[in-house]
Structures are given as structure tokens and as C-alpha cells.
Amino acid sequence: MRIKVIVPVSTEIWNRGIEEAYSAVKDSDTEITIVNLSKGPESIEQYYDIAWAELETLKEAEKAEKEGYDAVIIYCFSDPALFAVREKLRIPVVGLRESALHVAAMLGRRFSIIGVGSKNSKGKTLDAVRMYGMESKLASIRMLDFLVLDIAEELDNIKQALLKEAEHAIKNDGAEVIILSCGSLIGVGKWLQERLEVPVIEPGLVALKLAEDLVKLGLSHSKLSFYSPHRKRRIE
């Protein structure tokens, strides 16, 4: 099984971490290829960044299907271009946010979404939770003032702050499950879960396992929901 992982940003600083984390949990016969965008934003925090990333993500995904990959993972909690890619492709396309929300909903009755990206990144998440009909399961969205690009340098501070935020979500918002809202907090889920009474979801890992599952079960998104686009002129 060959899975292409598109990290939809114009930097490759996350690739190595993703590769290591994926090695630890992937099926033995899964082959992972990680790519980035040649154009686009360095990080994705809100709709503005998504708009910068979508077309390039789409093109990478189209290439993946032609190259014979069995599935595509769009490795970002904002799920940029997820539905556009599904319309174009027939192979399974998995997004981190969608996967994480559904798995969280199976582990408890209310979840909190915590992460970096500042308040700027709350709106897009709330919109998705509403679109998926899960607002009543949302205990809270809590975003640290750290930005995505701070993660490398500030990892220890971010971990401590996330722990505090998660404890707050559990105690005051009624969270029973924690979702990390960023694919770049690799390994932090495990670290947090050891310090909390609740499961902590790393969306990147959940997405990988769901992608493998769909391939193995011969399932993919419905083409009656995500229709293949009409041919027309689209100027690059």
C-alpha cells in the first residue's frame, strides 16, 4: 500500500517528524511518501492561509492519483481542499480534522480542541464542527497564542501551556477527550495523554490509520456526494 502525504505548506521542516511518527504506527506493508507545496504559505492557521494553499494541494493530489498511490492524506488540521480533492480523485482522501472529530466522538461525549495558532484559528474549526453537526459535542476550542511556526523553538513552553489548557478544558469546559488541532505537534499527544485522565488525539496519526483502513476495506468517498468535475477551461 502506497500513501502520499501532502503537507500543504511551503516548508519541509515538519516532514521528518511526520515520517518518524508514521513509521512507528503504520502497517508494515504501508509505504509513505511525504511532499510539500512549491508555492503557498509556510503554515496554515486560518482561511486566509487555506486560500493560499488550496490549488497547489489540489495539484499535488491529482498527481498522486496518476502516480498510482492508493490514498492521499492532506496533512493539516484545516483540511484544505479536502472536498475539492475528493471530487477529482477516486482513491480515498483523508483529512486530519474530519478524522479526528469522528474518532473523538467515539471516545467520549464532549471534546475540546486545543492547539497553537492563536484566536485566529478558532473560526475555521467552529465552522467545520457546525458543518459536521457536532457542535453539541464541542466542549471548547482553546488556542494558545503561540503560532505554528513557533513550535520548533518553543516546544517545551508549548507543551506546558497545552497541558495547562487541557486541564482547564477538562475541569471547566467538561472535556472528556482532547483533540490536538495541529498536525505539527508531533508526539505531543502521547506526552499529554500520559499526564491527563483522558484520551488525546493526534490527528495526523488517526488520519494515517483511517487511510490504511479505507484502502484495505476497498472503501472510498462517494462519487454521488463528491462528483467528478466537468471539463472546462481553467486558466493557470
Find the binder of a copy of itself among 7, 14, 110, 165 (CB under 8 A).
Answer: 110
Spatial distance between the Cα atoms of 107 and 140, rounded to a whole number of angstroms: 16
| Of 119, 89, 94, 106, the residue nearest 181 (C-alpha) | 119
Closer Cβ to a copy of itself, 162 or 211, answer by number: 211
Residues numbered 6-25 forming contacts with a copy of itself, rule: CB under 8 A: 10, 25
By CB under 8 A, residue 176 contacts a copy of itself? yes
Instruction: Provide the mask over 33-72, with x wherever binding to a copy of itself is found by CB under 8 A and - wherever it is not.
Output: ----xxxxxxx-xxxxxxxx-xx-xx--------------
Q: Which stretch binds a copy of itself (CB under 8 A): 65-73, 156-164, 180-188, 213-221?
A: 213-221
Q: Which amino acid is at 158?
A: I
Question: By C-beta, is 4 or 124 nearer to a copy of itself?
Answer: 124
Stretch touching a copy of itself by CB under 8 A, among 67-75, 122-130, 154-162, 179-187: 122-130
Cβ atoms of residues 81 and 61 within 8 Å: yes
CB-CB contact of 88 with 229 (8 Å):
yes
Q: Of residues 13, 35, 63, 120, which one binds a copy of itself by CB under 8 A? A: 120
Instruction: Choose one: 69-77, 159-167, 180-188, 208-216; the region binding a copy of itself (CB under 8 A).
Output: 208-216
Task: Look up cell 496518476; give the residue.
Answer: 66
Using CB under 8 A, pick the residue from 66, 68, 156, 234 that binds a copy of itself. Answer: 234
- Cα–Cα distance between 78 and 8 in angstroms, integer? 10
- As measured in angstroms, the least distance from the Cβ of 98 to a copy of itself is 6
Alpha carbon distance 117, 167 (integer Å): 19
Shortest separation between residue 32's beta carbon and a copy of itself, angstroms: 15
Kind plus residue range of the DSSP H or E element containing 33:
strand 31-36
State the nearest-atom distance from the C-beta of 117 to a copy of itself, in Å: 9
CB under 8 Å to 20, separation ≥6 — which residues? 186
- Enumerate the β-bridge partners of residue 115: 143
Partners of 15 in the β-ladder: none
Contact with a copy of itself (CB under 8 A) among 12, 16, 67, 102: 102
Q: Are strands 71-74 and 2-7 parallel, antiparallel or unpaired?
A: parallel
Q: Among the candidate windows 70-78, 161-169, 180-188, 219-227, which touches a copy of itself by CB under 8 A?
A: 219-227
